[in-house]
Amino acid sequence: MKNLPIILLAILTGLIMACTPTRTKVPKGDINYELVKSQEEWKSLLSPQQFRVLRGHGTERAFSGAFWDHKNEGTYICAACNLPLFSSDTKFKSGTGWPSYYQPIDSASVGSTIDRSYGMTRIEVHCNRCGGHLGHVFRDGPRPTGLRYCINSVSLDFVPKGEEISLKY
């Protein structure tokens, strides 16, 4: 059994290789999204403020966006790709200066990652179709979920109730 270490090494190498994704490299943060565009493409499609927040994980100033005090009935969609994200039915007054919702229209549409920036541990939320950064979710929301999706207005567009929504790209 002199060859045992070599055999073990071969098996181990095989396991490591099997776990290594073989797909071509895509820009960081865009892995697995249905809609993938380069930062350059997004830059040409979005306004500078949208690009800073959606593709650069920025945050708009509180009380500065279009939707923190917006009360019309309808659907809030991803500003980058038009995926329906939040309904006016789940919007609530949070007093934070950012539009706040207690749940997404479809939990599969809003993804989350752990964000450890600025010395805090927060849950970042993004559009699950294009990967665009939306904001964060906190556990101090109202019933029934107890969640507060704190979203940048600039990451959203609004479609009034009854109007058709079509995805971009």
Q: Which stretch binds Zn ion (CB under 5 A): 8-16, 100-108, 128-136, 154-162?
A: 128-136
Site for Zn ion contains 130 (CB under 5 A)? yes
Pick one of 65, 99, 104, 132: the residue that binds Zn ion (CB under 5 A): 132
Pick one of 46, 77, 78, 154: the residue that binds Zn ion (CB under 5 A): 78
Nearer to Zn ion, 132 or 135 (CB): 132
* Residue 19 is a catalytic residue: no
3-state secondary structure of 118: helix
Q: In whole angstroms, what is the distance from residue 132 CA to residue 3 CA?
A: 51
Site for Zn ion contains 85 (CB under 5 A)? no
Pick one of 37, 55, 91, 129: the residue that binds Zn ion (CB under 5 A): 129
Pick one of 53, 77, 110, 127: the residue that binds Zn ion (CB under 5 A): 127
Cα angle at 108 between 105 and 109, to 5 degrees? 60
Yes or no: say if 104 and 116 are a contact pair by the CB < 8 Å rule. no
Q: In whole angstroms, what is the distance from residue 16 CA to residue 68 CA?
A: 48
Pick one of 81, 134, 137, 156: the residue that binds Zn ion (CB under 5 A): 81
Q: Which residues contact 134 (CB under 8 A, 6 or more apart)?
A: 54, 78, 85, 110, 125, 126, 127, 149, 151, 152, 155, 156
Which tokens is 116 given?
């450890």
Within 33-62, which residues bind Zn ion (CB under 5 A)? none
Q: Any idea which residues carry the catalytic annotation? A: 150
User: Which residues of the shown chain bind Zn ion in the complex (CB under 5 A)?
Assistant: 78, 80-81, 83, 127, 129-130, 132
